[in-house]
Amino acid sequence: MNVKRVIDGTGLSGKLGAVVLGMSLLAQPLSAQTTPNAGPVDLTKQVPPAPVTTAPEAPVPVPVTPVPLPTPHWSQTDAQSLLATIKGIGAEGLFAKDYQPELLSAAIVKGEGPELDEIATRLFTWLAEDLRDGRTPMAARVQWFAVDPDQDINPTPLILADALVRRDVKGALMALAPTVPDYAALKAALPKAQTPKQAALIRANMDRWRWLARDMGTQYLLANVPEQMLRMTVRNKIIKTYKVVVGKPGRTATPQLAETVEGVIFNPTWTVPQSIVVGEGLGARLVNNPRQAAREGYKVTKLSDGMIVVVQQPGDSNALGRMKLDMPNEHAIFLHDTPSKAAFNQPVRALSHGCVRVEGATELAMTMAILGAGMTPDDAIAAHTSKTYTKVPMTKTFPVYLTYFTVARDVNGMLRSFPDIYNRDAPVVASFAQPRKEHTAQRKSTEEVIKLDNPL
């Protein structure tokens, strides 16, 4: 098969080979997780046989009270290092006053002892939490459902212990900052801000990077909703970008997610939501007319309870187009193709019911299948041109981030401002104007999960 001709014939950019070459250093598959071995069994003890019962009762769980860790000892040198870090934390888009430098300074003057230990430990903890997880309270992170794993991977007690053992308090704290070039660009722009409003927006967007995993993966897809662009990134370098259509403001706005692609689906089917099947009468019109349903590309089934299920079959007119990235999540959000290509030419592309439509989706699907699932280019093309439903499971981990940055590097690497299409800046900026709030166990927004399963 002539790969180049087929790619060009499907309307691709003709740069699939370059994309594949740029992705040649993809990460290895996830290593298998193992379960710790059970402890040794004492065979010297005689254990009577368990009595035969018909319905053994489940053991009653005994509540376990966590034992508080002892407060570590702080030398005056380490405390002075913490104080200096606090005083310079403005460079990271945070406010020194949030971490009580006067109180720490007074404790240092009094000398080493329990008071200094308690104050220094508490302020180190606050600063570590904000640098690792973000300062913004969860209530101000509107529709933010991307769970940051960093506090599990790098818990605060271990950070503190390492800092004191290595006598490098500042280094331990600065190592928590995001490593993406976008964060560095915002940090460099902060002291050059022309107005307090501009500075506030830069701080807000610096904090948004802390809401995500510090290690975002060797390769990942990231869609910035306000920019209405998707980028494929390898080792922090953008190797391919795509225009996208995102959710309309309001109830169908695209939520912010951090998910993983489990498969590439060529020639997907689409189960029509009941809001259309029932609400728009599609089911009633087609249920007793299978020939008409077939002509329109639908398969209609009436269940025993009377519910009508309508599934649009693969084809150029399918609402999902010719490709869908399977990324299971409770919001039913995914990336997909579309037969409505004209929308990509509009400057404002917040038009969908929440899902993300991708321009050049066929090229993206083939690239993902080749580099994330080990397919050959010929096999990827065959799957696409077969016009039959084909799901290709991923063999490499490929995260997808649906983010919201209103000040960020664009796909060309230039720092820009983007329209706040969902009005999500105000709560973040307002939270920075208020005193710092204690972190809670909440890891994502508690707002209603709206299942946005209608790509039309």
Mean pLDDT (10-residue bins), the chain, 456 residues: 43 49 42 37 38 47 60 96 98 98 98 97 98 97 96 97 97 97 97 97 98 95 97 93 96 95 96 87 90 92 93 93 94 93 94 93 94 93 94 95 97 95 98 96 86 57
Helix axes 114-133, 156-166, angle to 10 degrees: 120
Apex CA 212: angle with CA 209 and CA 213, to 5°?
A: 120
In this structure, what token pair is assigned to residue 287? 């249920």
Could you tell me if 317 and 456 are in contact, meaning their C-beta atoms sit under 8 angstroms apart? no
CA-to-CA separations, 94 to 130, 131, 137, 282, in angstroms, rounded: 8, 9, 14, 54
Nearest Cα to Cα of residue 378 among 16, 13, 26, 22: 16
Q: What pLDDT, on a 0 to 100 scale, did the predictor assign at position 48?
A: 43
Q: What pLDDT, on a 0 to 100 scale, did the predictor assign at position 275?
A: 81
Q: What pLDDT, on a 0 to 100 scale, did the predictor assign at position 53?
A: 42
3-state SS, residue 379: helix
Could you tell me if 352 and 248 are in contact, meaning their C-beta atoms sit under 8 angstroms apart? yes
Secondary element (H or E) of residue 358: strand 356-358
Q: What pLDDT, on a 0 to 100 scale, did the predictor assign at position 63?
A: 56
The sign of the torsion formed by the CA atoms of 258, 263, 265, 268 equals: negative
pTM comes to 0.84
Q: Given CATH 3.10.129.10, say whether it is the number of domain 142-148+180-269+314-456.
A: no
Q: What pLDDT, on a 0 to 100 scale, did the predictor assign at position 447?
A: 86
Q: Map out the domains of the chain as residue ranges.
A: 71-133+150-178, 142-148+180-269+314-456
CA pair distance 120, 105, nearest whole angstrom? 10
